[in-house]
Amino acid sequence: MRWISYLEGGPKRVNHAAVSVGHKIYSFGGYCTGENSREYTSMDVHVLNTTTFRWTKHPVSDLPYFENDDILPYKRYETCICGINYHLWC
């Protein structure tokens, strides 16, 4: 039997998408009842480093969503993602 400790700092979501690239797992989107779903914001990205087992929030642009909508997808849930050659496609 092995003890598994709870990892803090990760996303608290349902219906999110995740993809493994190298030794990191990227988690995108999802739904949390504590969030304002009508607010126009970019999708946040959380990263689990499987070497250190630590979560970090991946930095995204601080510009308002409407100034980034060509490069950052709008927040979403029940989506999919794939990783090809270290590029992530949502």
Q: What is the pLDDT of residues 20-52, one digit of tens each?
A: 888 998 888 777 666 555 555 556 788 899 998
Whether the CB-CB separation of 89 and 63 falls below 8 Å is answered with no
Phi-psi region of 33 (alpha: psi -120 to 50; beta: other; left: phi over 0): alpha
Q: What is the pLDDT of residues 47-78, one digit of tens each?
A: 899 998 888 887 766 655 555 555 555 566 66
Domain boundaries, the chain: 17-89
pTM of model > 0.75: no
